[in-house]
Amino acid sequence: MATSYSKVGEMTTNDGVPLKVSLQRSQRKLKIWAFLLVAPLLLFIIVSFIIPVVNMSLRGVENPQVHTIMPNVTKALARWEGVDLPDEATYAALVLDLQEGRKNKNIGKVASRLNYERSGMRRVISGSARKAVKLTEGPYKKQMIKIDKSWGDVAVWSLIKRESGQFTFSYLISAVDYRTNDQGNIEAKPENKQIYKALFGRTLIMSFTITAICILLAYPIAYLLATLPLAKSNLLMILVLLPFWTSLLVRTTTWIVLLQTQGVLNDVLVWMNIIDEAGRLQMIFNKTGTIVAMTHILLPFMILPLYSVMKTIPPTYMRAALSLGANPVVAFVRVYIPMTVSGIGAGSLLVFILSIGYYITPALVGGQSGLLISNMIAYHMQNSLNWGLAGALGFILLVIVMVFYSIFNKVIGIDKMKMG
């Protein structure tokens, strides 16, 4: 009842605790409560998503094969200088590891690993392992070189030493079109093996192009939707939302049907005598196909944020500018467009981030020239089985996306994003 004063001017609650402390306490309690609400989801995302993605990126530097399957060679090579051929003890270790690896049936993993770095290493390792089983006594150096002359090549030993660590940079180096040469120096790959830098470049350029086209197409539409009466704009909005809600595969299929050489659009052009039967246009399975289909798929992501910004701009601003005698074009460019910059920014970054990582559409309509970096990652995952390289490429892509995402977050703020 009676409010007590412990010190003059300081308020306390009934039980004598200073009000400030009590408030802090309840504030902390609320904080904990809020965090507890988020905790289950946070845990779920970390386990089901963050760990897998980190794990994938780590594959780009992990290098367990030589290290674990050839432990004796790894140890013996640690003190090797790399100038002349290794000593007899190292060859003895090699024979031991090959025999052991052959017995455990895992020497092929070393063979696959080293073959990525140097063509023919699969034959050297697997073939030698098959024959090394028969060796019973030394000296081994001569016998091994007789089994495969590669064992008399210092470059082969340097390669094994280089890749005997638990971690390697060779995938990351390879992912930017460099390699380590026989002398151990890092150099650019020969021209006829360079691919990833150009592919990253193409991915960025095509994403920019798609973003730019999306801005051009979305702006008039968003403006129309924002300025029409609500009943009409709601109706037209459906035309934007329907593609947004339609399956990605359906939309990609439909572009194949429309654009292929024997497709609807070519048929129409032939029928209208614009082109002849032999002059049918190649509009798909190339860059054009990827750009057209991806623009179609990503356009709603540009229209929606633009629309939500434009809707907040009172029409009186433009009217004021006009009534003050501004030329309509000037008024639009100097008054209206600056007010929509935040919408353009939000839409652009969203479209850009999404298109950098696109996989399905380029794979189906991109042919050869329309492929993006994601397709190369999928190729290394499924076809070449070079998972380390896939991890390295994925890591670089992830870093690029994160950079753009943090810009997005700084400039617009992820919590400002609205859907549908």
Residues 316-345 that bind other proteins (CB under 8 A): 328
Residue span 63-102 as binding mask against other proteins, x where in contact by CB under 8 A, dash where not: ----------------------------------------
Report, in Å, the least distance between residue 206 CB and other proteins: 13
Nearest to 150 by CA among 122, 177, 183: 122
Token pair of 241 as six digits: 């939302």
**Residue 251 interacts with other proteins (CB under 8 A): yes or no:** yes
Residues 368-387 that bind other proteins (CB under 8 A): 368, 371, 374, 376-379, 381-387
Nearest to 408 by CA among 318, 362, 345, 330: 345
**Residue 159 interacts with other proteins (CB under 8 A): yes or no:** no
**Residue 155 interacts with other proteins (CB under 8 A): yes or no:** no
**Residue 364 interacts with other proteins (CB under 8 A): yes or no:** yes
Rule CB under 8 A: choose which of 30, 274, 333, 403 binds other proteins. 30
**Residue 23 interacts with other proteins (CB under 8 A): yes or no:** no
Rule CB under 8 A: choose which of 68, 181, 261, 312 binds other proteins. 261
Nearest to 298 by CA among 249, 347, 236, 253: 347
Q: Which stretch binds other proteins (CB under 8 A): 84-92, 152-160, 161-169, 189-197?
A: 189-197
The answer to whether 397 touches 377, Cβ cutoff 8 Å, is yes
Which sign, positive or negative, has the C-alpha torsion 9, 11, 14, 17?
negative
**Residue 414 interacts with other proteins (CB under 8 A): yes or no:** yes
Report, in Å, the least distance between residue 89 CB and other proteins: 27
**Residue 346 interacts with other proteins (CB under 8 A): yes or no:** no
Token pair of 285 as six digits: 């399975």
**Residue 186 interacts with other proteins (CB under 8 A): yes or no:** no
Rule CB under 8 A: choose which of 204, 345, 367, 407 binds other proteins. 367
Report, in Å, the least distance between residue 343 CB and other proteins: 16
Is 94 or 372 the residue whose CB approaches other proteins more closely?
Answer: 372
**Residue 21 interacts with other proteins (CB under 8 A): yes or no:** no
Q: Which stretch binds other proteins (CB under 8 A): 13-21, 82-90, 158-166, 214-222?
A: 214-222
Is 87 or 274 the residue whose CB approaches other proteins more closely?
Answer: 274
Report, in Å, the least distance between residue 266 CB and other proteins: 9
Which sign, positive or negative, has the C-alpha torsion 156, 162, 166, 168?
negative
**Residue 52 interacts with other proteins (CB under 8 A): yes or no:** yes
Q: Which stretch binds other proteins (CB under 8 A): 85-93, 133-141, 180-188, 296-304?
A: 296-304
Q: How many CB atoms lie within 10 A of CB 130?
A: 13
The answer to whether 60 touches 395, Cβ cutoff 8 Å, is yes
Burial 228-244 (b: 16+ CB within 10 A, else e): eeeeeeeeebeebeeee
Rule CB under 8 A: choose which of 18, 71, 82, 263 binds other proteins. 263
Is 10 or 267 the residue whose CB approaches other proteins more closely?
Answer: 267
Amino acid (1-letter code) at residue 26: S
Rule CB under 8 A: choose which of 22, 112, 143, 209 binds other proteins. 112
**Residue 123 interacts with other proteins (CB under 8 A): yes or no:** yes
CA distances from 270 to 46, 278, 280 (A): 55, 9, 8
Rule CB under 8 A: choose which of 21, 186, 205, 264 binds other proteins. 264
Amino acid (1-letter code) at residue 210: I
Backbone angles phi, psi at 188, to 5 degrees: -65, 145
The answer to whether 276 touches 270, Cβ cutoff 8 Å, is yes
Q: How many CB atoms lie within 10 A of CB 206?
A: 22
Close Cβ partners of 296 (under 8 Å, ≥ 6 residues apart): 243, 251, 255
Token pair of 349 as six digits: 């970054």
**Residue 279 interacts with other proteins (CB under 8 A): yes or no:** no
Residue 142 CA to residue 133 CA, distance in Å, equals 16
Rule CB under 8 A: choose which of 80, 91, 116, 171 binds other proteins. 116
Nearest to 144 by CA among 162, 130, 165, 159: 130
One DSSP character per residue, 126-181 reads: HHHHHHHTT--SS-HHHHHHHH-GGGG-HHHHHHHHHTTSSB-SHHHHHHTTEEE-
Report, in Å, the least distance between residue 27 CB and other proteins: 6
Report, in Å, the least distance between residue 161 CB and other proteins: 20
**Residue 276 interacts with other proteins (CB under 8 A): yes or no:** no
